[in-house]
Structure formats: structure tokens, C-alpha cells
Structure 1
Amino acid sequence: MSTSAAGGHGYPQSPCFVGILSARDARIVHMFESLKSKAVGYGSRDILKAVDGLKRGRIAVANELLVWVAAWADAHPAESIMEAGPGLARAVRPGGEGTPAVNDLAMVELFAKLGKSTGSGMLFLGDVLDLRHRLPQLWAKVMGCELEEWQARRVARMTHHLSLEQVGEVDRAVAWFAGTQPPGKLFDAVEATILRIDGDRARAEYEERRRQVGVWKSQTDDNGLKGVFGRLEPLAAERLYARVQELADCLSEGTADERRAEAFGMLGDVAAITRLRARRRQPERFDEELAEAVAALTPDDEPDLMIEESEVHPALRDRPAAVDVESVIFEAAVERLVERLDPRLLVPTSTVVVHISAEDLSQGEGVCRVPELGPTLKSVVGEWLGHDRVVVRPVIDLNDAPPPVDDYEIPDRHRDHAMLRCPGSVFPWSTATRNLDLDHTDPYRPNGPPGQTRVEKLIPLSRTEHRAVTHGGWRRRKPDPTTMIFRSPHGHVFLTNRTGTHDLGAGSVARALWGAVSR
């Protein structure tokens, strides 16, 4: 009998085993052929109906698995251990404070059926026990298939270190909108609540993260390229990337990635950056003035050029090797030219938008929301701003909207007001917060009534979402300042507001609501 491995599992290739594999493969092929034929011949509405049903079924199956895992833990508690001793079963508590202990060896069989290692299985079980015993409101949403199990388990993992009382606060704070918000917004809300109730720990973790920053370079790869990698504070990373993009915008050749790579490499050449930025921001001082500065430093007739030490760039004065005359002349000329530049125009600027409630502003350690960076302690934001020249812009009173205008183009004041009122897209399930368009909920008419562009009728959308409502068959209505109702090309109605996205379907209730809502 041959003993070579089959499929990498070390099974002997006996005729019986080959027959089992062949039968299994035949069933798999038949299953996939059956799946492919399921969607043949259906129209768009039926496809959407099938997708909706399968999505709900997938959520129900995944959520039901948590029930059976919890049942297995109930069936094998720590009390089921009949004998103690070296190597025998032990009581372990995979969950946090307030969860029951279980028989660790009994869990191994469950993890094998789940297809998980012992380590990952214990983490999975800990999430389940945390949800059922520490986050009862989220657990109820999971049981009602209103929240996907992976999102609920992520919240359980984020709150595992909290006390029973603290995790209860998180449960009450986020359960009411869990399942109606995109996952990122749910996790941001959880993080903000944790910062608020456990600020001391969050501050300690922040200080620990500050010691984990660094910059590293890789070995040269087969293509002759070398990588540079850094781990920075979020704002420092955003500022660095913005500087690289600013320099890349000054370049004209190459793709966007190539220009950014060239700009990133220029960070090691201060003179090159100064020339590039000054030429971009103060072009009138270059070309002729630079030529004049070079000419002033170049002797007319001397073949052996002698340069006074005072005219040599400071970085070159102590160089032991022979000085490159042309480089010295150019560097000295640039130094003379830079002396006449306006330094205020060369200093990079950064804009940080910080959202903070009046309650958090008055507290010693409040929580801020910084777009793209997420919830952040107020003291951390203060440290970020402590290193720059800070100009505080007046707070815009969102209750004092600017007056309507007649133009299709949106003035900056109206744009700022609309974006501060709603800093993210209002499209169903959207997570877009950058490069947003402002859409007129009442389509602008060139010969329409005056005052068509008003803050109350502007909503933020991503470019693709904007195109969908303008040219893709989507329709939208805004019954009040905090609510949007969208209707898809095939009649499915979605309601979005501060609680998230609500899929109302395409039935009679959805049609009645759409018909009852004015623009």
C-alpha cells in the first residue's frame, strides 16, 4: 500500500479513500453548478429580493451560532470538573468581570468543531460570554438579528477590560443605535464612551503608544528600491502626509504616486524644499532674481574661483573634501534670495477641526472628535496644538444659517455651515467624510425662484452618491433638518437620521411613507 500523502494530510491513497474523495468532489461540483443556476433568468427586482433574504439568512445563521456556543459553555461550567490535579481539566474564565468560568478541556471539542485553534477559540468564547453577561442590550439586538454578530463581538472585545459597571454604561450608550449605523461609527461611539468613563486608563495607554513610535528603513529589494516606514502620532502622520502632498502638487512630471515619492525623498533636502515651496508661493522672486544673485557671486575673469568663507553655505564650511564651486555659488545665491522672502508664506499651515460638546469642554478631561482621527482626549488635542502657532476660528452658530442665495454655486460660508452641521454623508450606510459634494435636495433650476441655494436644502454626499441621485435613478427628500428619505431605482426606501440607516423595503408602508413626505 502506498503511504504518500494525499492533500497534505498524510492519508494513504487506498482505493477506498480515493473513492471517498471522488464522491466528495463530485458533490462539490454539483453544488456549485446548482448555485450558478439559481440566479439564471431573474429580473432586477427578484435579484434584490433574493439578496435581501440571503443577507438576513446569513445574519440569522451567524447570530444563532453564538447561542449554541453559549449553550455549550452552560453545559460545561467550572462545576462540571470532578477531579483536580496536574494535567486535568481546569476552571478558566475567558470572559471579563461578571462572566462564568468554564471547563477548559471541554471547550477544546467545541473549538475543533468551530475550526478554531485553542487560542482563537478562547477569544471567541470570551466575546460570546461578555455579550450575554455584560452587554445584555447588545445581546438582545443580536438575538433579534438587528445587529451582526461580528460587530457585537468587536464591541465585546473593546470593552473586555472594563468593570461590570463601566461596561454597562457602554451598553446603554450605544445599543440604541447599534445595527443602524455603519460599523465604523458604532466603534467610534464605543471608543468615545470608553474614553469618557475610563479616561485615566486611556491616558496611560496614550503615553504607552507614544513610546512605540519610530521610523525604519527596509533592505534594498530586487528592483533596487528601499522602503521607509514610520509609526507616528495620528496628527503627526496627517501633517507629514499633507506636507508630502503639498510638495508633490508643486511637481509636474510622473504619476501621483511618483510625485509623492519624489516629494517624500525631498524631505532630506531642506534647500530643495525651500526653493520648491518659495517658487510656488512667491514666484515673482525667482528666475531673474535668482540669476542676479548667482551673477553677484560669480567673479568675471578669475579661472581659479576663490570663495570667502562667509559666502559658503554653513553646511559646507567644514567639509574636508574639495568644494563643488557651482554648488557653493548656487547655495549661497539661494541663501541671499531666501533672506528677502516672506517667511510667513513658507511656514506650512495645518487646519484641525475639533468637535466637542459644551459638557466635555467644561470638564477636566473631556472627549473630542477629530475628523479622520476619531475620538480623542481633550488633553491630547491640547498637546497637538501646543506645538504650532494656533489661530482659533470663531465658532459657527449652527442656529444662525446664512441667508439663501440665487446662484447654483455654493458660497464658502454656506458650505462651511452645511458641513459643520452634518460632517459626513447622509446616504444610506455611507461612511464618507472626505471630499464630499453638497447636493441640492431640490434640484436647482436655472429659471427657478430666487433663493434656491440655502443651507437647509444642502446635504453632503460622496461624488459617486451624488452622481447616483443626479443621474442614477435615486430620489431623495428631506422632510425635516435631521431626516433624509431615499428611494432606490427599484423602489426600495431608506430613511437616514441621527440614529443611522433604516431599510424600509419596497412594500406598501414604504410606498405610503414616500408618498406622504414632501420635499
Structure 2
Amino acid sequence: MSFSTPDLDATAVLHAAGAAVVERRLSEVRELELLAQWAALHGEVDDAGRRRRLAMVRLGGEGTPLVQDHCLGEIALARGTHVIATNHALADALDLQHRLPLIWGTATTGIVDLWIVRKVARLSRHLPLARVGVVDAAIARMLGREGGGRILDVAEAAIIEADVDLHNARVEEEKRRRYVGFGRTNEYGLRALIAQIDAGDAAWIDATLTRVVAILQSRDDVERCRDEWRAVALGYLARPAELLTLLAEEVAEEVAEQPSSDAAADDDEQAPAPCACGLNRAIAFPQELLGHLRAIDWTRLRPKAVLYLHLHEAALTGQAAGVARAEPTGNHGLRAHTLTQLHRLLHRTKVTVKPVIDLNNRVRTTAYEHPEALKERVYLQTCGDYWPYAAATSRNVDYDHVTPYRSTGPPGPHLHDEQTGTHNSGPLGRTHHRWKTHAGYQARQVGEGRYLWTTPHGLAFLVDHTGTRRISPEVAEMIRQAPLGVDVYPGPVSY
């Protein structure tokens, strides 16, 4: 149905708005139904009832059917989504159909947003099949009558009620999931820190931050709000040498300011008197220890890390804005920085600058293994996994021979030879590598850092420095058959 929105009166807008929401919900139901059908086509047995001898995975909870592991990549590509997102959606679909049939039956009428019932499916996935019916019955009667927040509150309670012993066991298990995590660095060089720790440790951190803020405020007249001061203080916790020096000097100064305690010794035999800062003099640093701490080279305590920066030469000569892009290696999570920000980030560190790699030079070897120098070049050409729509940019990947390696492959400058080199290499995540090797996906390197993919059912994708583009099979064949040295760049296509 199509209509001109400006022509609608208030009543018509209300009816149309409701109809549009139902239409969107039913469209999402259709998405899950298609995923479930794909799982059925790639289940544990074939059409003749014979058991398949392939790697099978169970994406949903207990009672959901097994699915061929190798089939998951292709349906993700057809949807234009990441494999992980598709796997989550498929798991939700299987849970709803096989474990929560009452909820699923209600959801298919379009009276509830799919994200609500999908979250119920995820929250209850750990429950045994025999107990998940408690959740199904409790939630199904609420759908279309209550808001999402209330439904999820009841769902959490119903999940506990379904298996109290299992919940208690999960509480103990969750204590082993304490963590410290970091968000992405924003364009201003700021980053969020998120932690789940023991409440006692959190109290100690809070007390230490309060103490450091008090010291910093007494030495610095900069105008900062309370939260900003605490953020600055938190940085000292990451630099124990500076923190120890700061605290030691402050304690020494406080002790020096205290009046002689000889006269009060008789009155204070049972417990040493606290100083004005709230610290007990019994734990104050002796002057000899303070001098020793000051003499130590604390730079030895600094952690070591490798930082990969991408910077145009024009930024160094002042011909362009000075912006450096940092690879998110390890747990750094850094993003683009100005040169000023970069200087501020590195000014406390000892920096070793490595030579720039010229990617125009082709490197090859007759060995099967990729030497580290070759891995570096291959990664810099792709900046991550070369699977279509891959999101990972980690260097923790397999270095794959795009065309299978042959020790007798023709040496020389041929683009499609079968030995190891920048002409026949690409980084792949382990799962994507397995799929390429065993699941019928075809890849061809068609230029430096440029790869052509075709799936078992004929979908075609071109991956290069601009990202992933879905192309027609005819264009894919044109690229595949192009003479050596000729790169074909397709324009926009519809499919």
C-alpha cells in the first residue's frame, strides 16, 4: 500500500502509524522464519533422512536442532550482515520456535516488538528444556498488554523461578566473570573505562581517588569539577611509580608538620595518634625510605607496548592536518589522534621508531610459512580479515594462501602463482579460514590487497581497500578472467 503522507488527516495518520508498526514487526518475523528455514535445509539429516557427516553446531538452547557450521557464512553474506549477528538472530529464531512456542505464536501476530521476545529467548537460553515452559507461559499472556520493561522484569523473575538451584550456581559462576574493559577512544582523545569488581575493591579505589584528589587540589589551582579531578586521579593509579612518589611525599610533609610527640607519649601508648589527613603515623614513610624511593629509576616499572600509527607524510611537513590513526592492537583501542594529542599520549614514554614499510615492493618466499616481514606487509594491505564484511581488524589472524600453496608453483612475477608472497596472501580469522578451506567458498586475489569471493550458491563479493561490495556473477567472472595486470572495477549494481 502506498499513499501520500501530507494527504492524511489525524485519524488516518494514527491508523497508518499503527499499521506501519505491525508491518515492520511482521517483516522481522519473516526474517526469523527465513533463518529457521535455512537451518532446516542444513540440519542434522538430509532430505532422505540420512545423518550428515559434517561439523554441526547448536546455536540455540537445549531442544533446538543442530545446524551445519559451514552454512552460516553464506546466509550472513546474503543478508549483508556480520556472521555473529546472523548467528544470534538464528539462535533466537530456533529458541522461539522450539523452546518458547507460546511466545512465538503470539509474536507472529505482530502485536509485540521482536526485540522483546528475542531478549527473552536469550535470557532463558541456559534453562533446561523441561523448565523453560515456566517462562513461556508467564510471558506469552503479557505480550501486547504490557510494555517491554515490565515484560523483561517478569521474565527475569520467571527465569529464576524456573530453576532456583541453577540460578544460585550461576550467581557463583558470575563472580568469576569480573573484568575491566575499555570503550573506544573518541575524537577528543577520551575513553571510557568499565569494570566489574568486588565491592570491597571498589571502595578502596574510591578512597584512594579521594585521597589523590585532595593532594592534587592542594598543589594545583586549576579549576576542575569533582568528576574531572577524579578522572585525573585515576590516571595516577595506572602509573604506580608516580602514585607512590605522590603519596610518599605527601605523607612525609604531613609527618614533618606534626608537633613532637615526646610530651604526649605517655598519653598515647595504646594507639598512635592519627595525623590531620586521617592517616595513622604508624604507617608513615620514614625519611630514609622516602629518599631511597626518590633515588630509584621508576621508568623500569613502565609497561611496554607496540603502537602502530598510520600517518601521511604531508602531516609531518605541515602540508595537511596532522592526524594519526592508531591501529586497535592489543587492548589500546586508540583511534585517530592529532599530532598534539599524540605527543601528549607519548610524552612519558620511551619511543622506538621503526622504519616505514614500502608496500610497493612485492615480497615472496618459496617456504609455506609466512615470515614476520611478509605478515606485516600483507596486514598493512588489508588492515584486517579479508572475509566479506568482516569487522575484525586484529592482527591475531591466520595468514592464508588465497590460492592453495604448491611447493612446485611457478616462481617469478606471475600474479596467480601458488607460492607464498604478497601476491597470494590474506589475513583470515580462524572461523573464516575454516569455511574457505572446507565449505566451498572460492577466493581469488585479483590485485594488491584486492580479493574476489564466490559462495557455494553463487553470490559474489569484491573486497578491497574500500570495503566489501556485492557484485553480479557476470562481473565476478569478468574480474576472474581479466588478463594479468588488468584490474576491473565494477560500478554500482543491483541484485
What interval of TM-score do these two structures reach, taking the shorter chain for normalisation? Answer: 0.3 to 0.5
- TM-score of the pair, normalised by structure 2: 0.39
Greater helix percent: which structure?
A: 1
TM-score by length of structure 1 reads 0.38
